[in-house]
Amino acid sequence: MDQVELFKALANKTRLQILTWLKDPEFYFPDYQSACGIDDIGVCVGHIQKKSGLTQSTISAYLSLLHRVGLVSATRVGQWTYYKRNETAIAKLGQLISSTL
């Protein structure tokens, strides 16, 4: 876990919003539901993109970045990729900051 890369990932308004939205998908994405019927698999790129107002390519890259640093997990199901918070990693980050910072 590279602390600097983690903080860089968090140093962006949209990426922070995405992490907030993924905390409570049913609240933040009330109109959508997982196309594959599996619950708790996360939210697909398109829904996040529409809510963000940024372009598809930007959001795809942002999610890929959040995934690279381990803050979210990604699951491909058919043509959709579902992104979901990695609560373990996020909790560890909180501890990391509380203890080492």
Would you tell me which residues interact with DNA (CB under 7 A)? 8, 11-12, 14, 44-46, 49, 53-58, 60-61, 63-64, 74, 76, 78-82
Under the binding rule (CB under 8 A), the answer on residue 94 touching a copy of itself is yes
Binding characters for a copy of itself, 35-64, by CB under 8 A (x = yes) = ------------------------------
Distance CA 48, CA 22 (A): 9
Regarding beta strands 80-85 and 72-77, do their DSSP bridges make them parallel or antiparallel, or are they unpaired? antiparallel
What is the rounded distance in angstroms from the CA atom of residue 82 to the CA atom of residue 90? 18
CB closer to DNA out of 60 and 84 = 60
What is d(CA 41, CA 36) in angstroms, rounded to the nearest whole number?
9
Shortest separation between residue 68's beta carbon and a copy of itself, angstroms: 15
